[in-house]
A and B are shown apart, each in its own frame.
Chain A
Amino acid sequence: METTHKHNAIILRLEKVKKYFPIRRGFFQHTVGWVKAVDGVSFDIEQGKTMGLVGESGCGKSTVARLILKLLETDDGNIIFKGRNIGRFSEKEMKPFRKEVQIIFQDPFGSLNPRMTVGQCIEEGIRILGVKRASARKERLENLLNMVGMSYDSADRYPHEFSGGQRQRIGIARALSVEPSLIVCDEPVSALDVSIQAQIINLLKDLQDQLGLSYLFISHDLNIVGYLCDTISVMYNGSIMESASSEDIFNHPYHPYTKSLLSAVPDPNKKWDVTLSLEQRYESDAVYDGCKHQKKCPWVEKQCRKNPIDFVQVEANHFVRCWKTKKSDLKVI
């Protein structure tokens, strides 16, 4: 996807990133196929902006997050962070990069070490930042805890003493402890109560305003993504299906999958009435030509099964991986 943004610098760019996992079977554990978890994903994130990545479970969202953090190696394609290709980083170059990109996890219970106090946990990051003096570290710890709305007495407590929302705040404080410029939020609120979700979302928004952070916000909750994100990419089966600004996605989506996602949002003034055909579950390792969405698409035609579908621009900054881009093609059934 070749877009030119005049106003803002691009902090992160993914270019046709691929990650395939081998499927091993049999006595000798030979590879019988590949799970194309991420299959040619490209997108940009602008400095200080939020990009939402939505899609159903298992479509490769979290794998994208792990690839960006370099917790997994990419098989193909480039991840370019602040103009530098992170795939080519040596061990030495990784250290400053690690400070720049951080992650907030979905599960507030598994993301904190049960045997480290909150203070120790956050101080790990402060130490990475190179703060030598104990008093300076303490001050920074207090500052971080206050930033996320926790009191300083939390510092010598263990994570199990906190509720899910409080733990998520601690996770955010840990991510902030190294002063990152990009935070990957891997479904940070989907494990929380709705009332707590709002608090965390507002906290993330406040932090973005005050620190100038960029977010990659991964979620399957379209309401939250619509509220928080500037641009949205819709992912299905390892590929981006549609990518546009938040308003465009909500107001005039092109791709059938986007429409079916939007129709799944409980909304009294529903615009799209496309039902997701849940009985047809895709097999990730199945090899078939053509559109990845063909098994679920209500408008599927012969042509969809033939050739790979290109990612085409339909409006300014609005890209769709579907050849039926005329609105008349996709009548609401």
Chain B
Amino acid sequence: MNPGENHIDAPDYIEAPLAPKHTRMQEFGRMLKQNRLAALGFFIFVLFFLCAVTGLILTSGTKPLFNPAMVRLEEKLRPPLSKPNLQALRPDQVPVLNVYLMGTDDLGRDVFARMLQGAWVSLTVGFVAVGISVFIGIFMGGIAGYFGQHHIKAIHILFFLCLIGGIGLVLINAVFAGTALLLLCLSSIVFLLSARDKLPEKTLPAWKGILLGNAVSVDTLIMRIVDIMLCFPSFFLILTVVALLPASIYNIMIVIGLTSWMGTTRFVRAEFLSLREQDFVAAAKALGIGNFRIIFRHIMPNAVAPVLVSATIGIATAILTEAGLSFLGFGVPPPHATWGNILSDGKNFIFDAPWLTFIPGIAILIVVLSFNLFGEGLRDILNPKLRERH
């Protein structure tokens, strides 16, 4: 049959849609206008983003415009907006605008330059860590929600344990034991493939019955992993891991990401469980659309709004975690400035130089608050049902 060939006389009446058309950008603009706090949050977020990007450009390179690492011992603990003492400084030590916008710290380093450098760290930590956690969360939650009723057989668990154990043992140079485990893993695949055709037979030997029996449902497995992960006090887990790994900003991002995906998983699973039973998913299945497309094209857009909201709040949490780690001295290694370690360095001088704690503290507060406000507003904006008919 050639698609499109059966031309049909249209009925006498043609029904027009009710509402006039708005583009997505118009809708977005209108929602922001209606929700002032979200608009404020969005504005601060954009400002922060621009600061972080320009900060990165201005503070990096061999001769940066603002040098966050320039030590001027003569000029230590100068208050904000104070003029530099030009007699005491070499020409290359003079700050760019001929003023210390945010004062100097105990080593005479320009706090403004350090704040600029730290903004980029906060931004990347926030986005990369949350990106990792959202990715894992959506993946695990999606599987738990959509394929949750499927069962994992005991042999599958054996297979994965052998595979992981085998690879692990080989990696730590226990080649002999590792190879043995890998062989066991291979034999379990062979056993599984050979047993596949004979499954309908009810009279299996007991050991085969146990190996091929349903051990645990996918949903139970994933949700129990989530529960186990939630049992760890995550900040101390991060502290431990950071202490073991070489101190680097990327390790911190990854560790924060790997310890904060559980909330997202629960969100996504709950959304999938309710959406999976909806008629439009049944219709998609009836059309013959594949599972992959149903998950990502049909269910995910409906499930992702609460995830995005929790992600924006997660960015705020990640920034705070990084600041906390830097404050405790486990964060980004010292010459590099972050808002957390500016705060941490300043705590010894809180009465002599309060700006050293207040400036990064207030910056963190504002950014975190703006993310939270924007997250709240985003939930309304992303929900097409809340778009009014005008």
A residues apposed to B, CB below 8 Å: 66, 69, 71, 94-95, 98-99, 101-103, 105-107, 110-116, 124-126, 128-131, 136, 139-140, 143, 146-147, 149-151, 153-154, 156-158, 160-163, 166, 169, 171, 174-175, 177-179, 203, 206-207, 210-211
Contacts and interface: CB of A to CB of B under 8 A. Distances in A.
A98 B286 CA distance: 6
13 contacts: A69-B285, A69-B286, A99-B288, A103-B283, A114-B302, A125-B287, A128-B288, A147-B8, A150-B14, A156-B21, A161-B17, A166-B17, A178-B287
Given A98-B286, A103-B286, A206 B11 contact: yes
A161 B18 contact: yes
A156 B298 CA distance: 16
Contacts of A147: 8, 10
Nearest to B9: A210
A116 B19 CA distance: 16
B284 interface: yes
A88 to B, nearest CB: 13
Contacts of B289: 124, 128
A240 B15 CA distance: 39
Contacts of B298: 113, 116
B306 to A, nearest CB: 13
Given A131-B3, A146-B10, A71 B17 contact: no
Given A162-B17, A179-B3, A174 B8 contact: no
> Which 8 pairs, one residue from A and one from B, show the smallest C-beta to C-beta distance?
A98-B288, A111-B279, A149-B11, A115-B301, A146-B10, A140-B4, A105-B279, A110-B279
A210 B8 contact: yes
A139 B2 CA distance: 13
Of A102, A143, A156, most buried by chain B (CB within 10 Å of CB) is A143
Contacts of A106: 279
Contact of A98 (B1, B282, B287, B385): B287
Contact of A124 (B279, B287, B387): B287
Contacts of B7: 143
B302 A113 contact: yes
Interface in B253-300: 278-280, 282-289, 297-298
A116 B302 CA distance: 10
B13 interface: yes
B287 A128 contact: yes
Contacts of A210: 6, 8-9
How many residues of B sit at the interface, in one of the four size bands?
35 or more
Nearest to B301: A115
Query: Which of B4, B11, B14, B301 has the most chain A CB atoms inside 10 A of its CB?
Result: B4
Contacts of B280: 110-113
Given A71-B285, A136-B4, A161-B18, 6 more contacts: A71-B286, A114-B302, A150-B14, A157-B17, A178-B287, A178-B288
Given A110-B278, A161-B389, A153 B17 contact: yes
Contacts of B10: 146-147, 149
Contacts of A157: 17, 19, 21
Nearest to A130: B3
A7 to B, nearest CB: 24
B384 interface: yes
Contacts of A128: 287-289
A130 B287 CA distance: 12
A93 to B, nearest CB: 11
Given A146-B14, A154-B17, A210-B8, A140 B282 contact: no
Contacts of B21: 153, 156-157
A12 to B, nearest CB: 15
A156 B21 CA distance: 9
B151 to A, nearest CB: 13
B163 to A, nearest CB: 27
B16 interface: yes
A268 B8 CA distance: 39
Interface string B37-75: 000000000000000000000000000000000000000
Nearest to B289: A124
Interface string B296-319: 011001100000000000000000
Nearest to A149: B11
Contacts of A105: 279, 282-283
B14 A149 contact: yes
B8 A163 contact: no
Contacts of A174: 283, 287
Contacts of B19: 157, 161
Given A113-B298, A125-B287, A136-B3, A103 B18 contact: no
Nearest to A127: B289
